[in-house]
């Protein structure tokens, strides 16, 4: 269990789930909670029981289906309604009945919000806070309070905003989290306010939104100013511009500030957990996300690569292994010899001497025609093999291929492809159908080779991207196709460039199949 001196508090399942286009099932929430517990967070805010059936169901199932090792599950809700008693309020009852040992209450701390949104008096709002906190404490619950719109409220009426903090603390709230609900604060301004609040003697936390792009920076400034409770969301999820990114916070606090929040072993899980949560939410991960992004330790410029060859720390702020990530070398027209040597070493090839120069020259020549190898490692490895062995890395010779797209009278679209090729001394003709010409070509190629190479049955196309490149001759333009393939255990990317999108797709498909067969142990020739 995480130590109580400093709280790492996650609100992905409640505040994060308010992101546009993000819709979590109960099963999704349970799965994400297990991942966050594995990272070692101290508190996981599960949702608002009583406010919607899904969150009520989550807490019911969590009692028997969640075996948390590090975190405590937290129920979120509001203070009692004006003019009632906390003991009689049905929403407060739902918090009691959730089974959560910790309750986080949201309360207004901006005077205008109290009068215009709650439509009650400033005195009654304080009574609502006092009554609800003390009631839940008497019922054996630990209570945190989120002071909503605190920083805007502080600007408008400092005395009242501080009175909200004082009232909650005196009623028994363990932490009062100051919320930058509109996300508009800047670090220096926020730190001054936090320092003032910490001076009141209450235990203070921070909850930041990212509307000014400062959620993580504001949270770090708050920690320096004295807060001991930090809230964030996995991958920075949340409505509008999102919340403070939990993973960036953990990386900065643990590796930069030297705070002992999670174990080193838990920290090495962070990249895997970030991507696992992305899979569950079905939100594509940001490749440039700090610490855990695919490109967080990817190097492209030749100058960088030359330095990294001497010492990786010259262009990396931490060892990527500390957070479970990897250094990657990108091969491009910007790459120099060092980049190619390092990338070759990463793939298991010795590119010393003139070999590296030949590969660099070939890469630059191809990139001048529109190729890119940054997201096409498999195409780059095939190129490496060809340059080093002098042998074309293909397991078949293509005689011809063609595609037909037919729109029938009933509106149905049918795509058909035929390939003629030579493999293992045989001439093979195969036809395939698909939901488009590229899919039809893919199916025809597998049908043609499947008997000779049964391993192709495990290969599937998982992503397909097309980009029209800038024309170099008047109105002409070239087309680049990137294909991501998988055999169920690993993924690889290939690239094709032609004036025709189908021809470019065929290039990428042909290389994808060849790479799959090389990995299966078949020698090319």
Over residues 30-87, the pLDDT tens digits come to 999 999 999 999 999 999 999 889 999 999 999 999 999 999 999 999 999 999 999 9
> What kind of architecture, by CATH, is found in domain 7-281?
Alpha-Beta Barrel (3.20)
CA distances from 400 to 59, 440, 456 (A): 60, 15, 21
Each domain of the chain, given as residue ranges in start order, spans 7-281, 298-358, 397-519
pLDDT mean over 484-497: 86
Q: How confident is the model over 429-463, as pLDDT tens digits?
A: 999 999 899 999 999 999 999 999 998 988 888 88
Tokens of residue 481, six digits: 């196709």
Q: How confident is the model over 171-223, as pLDDT tens digits?
A: 999 999 999 999 999 999 999 999 999 999 999 999 999 999 999 999 999 99
According to the model, what pLDDT value does residue 60 have? 95
pLDDT above 90: percentage of residues in the chain: 60
Query: Alpha-carbon distance 398 to 392, whole Å?
Result: 13
According to the model, what pLDDT value does residue 306 have? 53
According to the model, what pLDDT value does residue 339 have? 56
Query: Alpha-carbon distance 229 to 74, whole Å?
Result: 14
pLDDT mean over 334-339: 52
Question: What CATH class is the domain 397-519?
Answer: alpha beta
At residue 336, what are phi and psi to the nearest 5 degrees?
Answer: -110, -170
Give the CA-trace dihedral at 438, 284, 279, 210, to 10 degrees: -170
Report which of residues 384 and 226 the model is more confident about: 226
CB 115 within 8 A of CB 176: no
pLDDT at 2 over 70: no
DSSP per position, 287-318: TT-TTTSTTTTEE-SHHHHHHHHH-GGGG-SS
pLDDT mean over 117-122: 92
Q: How confident is the model over 124-154, as pLDDT tens digits?
A: 999 999 999 999 999 999 999 999 999 999 9
């Amino acid at each position: 269990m995480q130590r109580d001196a400093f709280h790492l508090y996650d609100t992905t399942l409640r505040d994060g789930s308010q992101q546009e286009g993000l819709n979590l099932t109960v099963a999704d929430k349970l799965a994400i909670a297990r991942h966050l517990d594995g990272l070692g967070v101290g508190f996981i805010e599960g949702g608002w029981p009583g406010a919607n059936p899904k969150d009520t169901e989550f807490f019911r199932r969590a009692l028997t289906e969640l075996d948390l090792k590090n975190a405590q599950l937290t129920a979120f809700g509001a203070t009692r309604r004006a003019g009632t008693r906390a003991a009689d309020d049905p929403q407060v009852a739902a918090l009691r009945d959730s089974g959560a040992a910790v309750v986080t209450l949201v309360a207004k701390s901006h005077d205008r919000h109290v009068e215009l949104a709650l439509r009650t008096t400033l005195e009654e709002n304080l009574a609502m806070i006092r009554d609800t906190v003390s009631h839940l404490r008497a019922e054996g619950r630990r209570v945190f309070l989120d002071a909503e719109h605190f920083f805007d409220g502080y600007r408008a009426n400092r005395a009242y905003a501080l009175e909200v903090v004082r009232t909650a603390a005196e009623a028994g709230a363990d932490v009062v989290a100051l919320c930058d609900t509109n996300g508009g604060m800047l670090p220096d301004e926020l730190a001054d306010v936090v320092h003032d609040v910490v001076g009141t003697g209450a235990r203070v936390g921070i909850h930041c939104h990212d509307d000014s792009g400062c959620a993580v920076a504001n949270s770090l400034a708050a920690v320096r100013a004295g807060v001991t409770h930090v809230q964030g969301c996995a991958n920075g999820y949340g409505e509008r511009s999102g919340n403070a990114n939990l993973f960036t916070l953990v990386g900065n606090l643990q590796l930069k500030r030297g705070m002992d929040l999670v174990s080193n072993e838990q920290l090495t899980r962070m990249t895997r957990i970030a991507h696992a949560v992305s899979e569950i939410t079905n939100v594509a991960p940001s490749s440039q996300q700090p610490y855990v992004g695919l490109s967080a330790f990817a190097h492209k410029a030749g100058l960088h690569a030359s330095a990294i060859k001497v010492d990786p720390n010259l262009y990396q702020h931490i060892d990527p292994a500390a957070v479970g990530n990897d250094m990657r070398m990108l091969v491009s027209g910007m790459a120099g010899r060092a980049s190619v040597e390092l990338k070759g070493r990463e793939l298991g090839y010795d590119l010393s001497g003139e070999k590296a120069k030949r590969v660099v020259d070939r890469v630059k020549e191809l990139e001048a025609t529109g190729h890119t190898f940054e997201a096409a490692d498999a195409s780059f490895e095939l190129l490496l093999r060809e340059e080093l062995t002098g042998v074309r890395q293909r397991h078949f010779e293509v005689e011809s291929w063609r595609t037909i797209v037919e729109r029938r009278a009933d509106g149905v679209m049918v795509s058909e492809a035929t390939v003629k090729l030579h493999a293992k001394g045989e001439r093979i003709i195969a036809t395939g159908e698909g939901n488009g010409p590229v899919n039809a070509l893919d199916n025809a190629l597998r049908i043609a080779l499947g008997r000779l190479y049964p391993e192709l049955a495990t290969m599937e196309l998982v992503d397909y991207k097309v980009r029209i490149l800038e024309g170099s001759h008047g109105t002409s333009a070239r087309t680049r196709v990137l294909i991501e393939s998988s055999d169920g255990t690993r993924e690889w990317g290939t690239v094709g460039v032609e004036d025709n999108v189908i021809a470019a797709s065929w290039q990428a498909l042909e290389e994808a199949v060849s790479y799959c067969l090389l990995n299966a142990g078949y020698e090319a020739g």
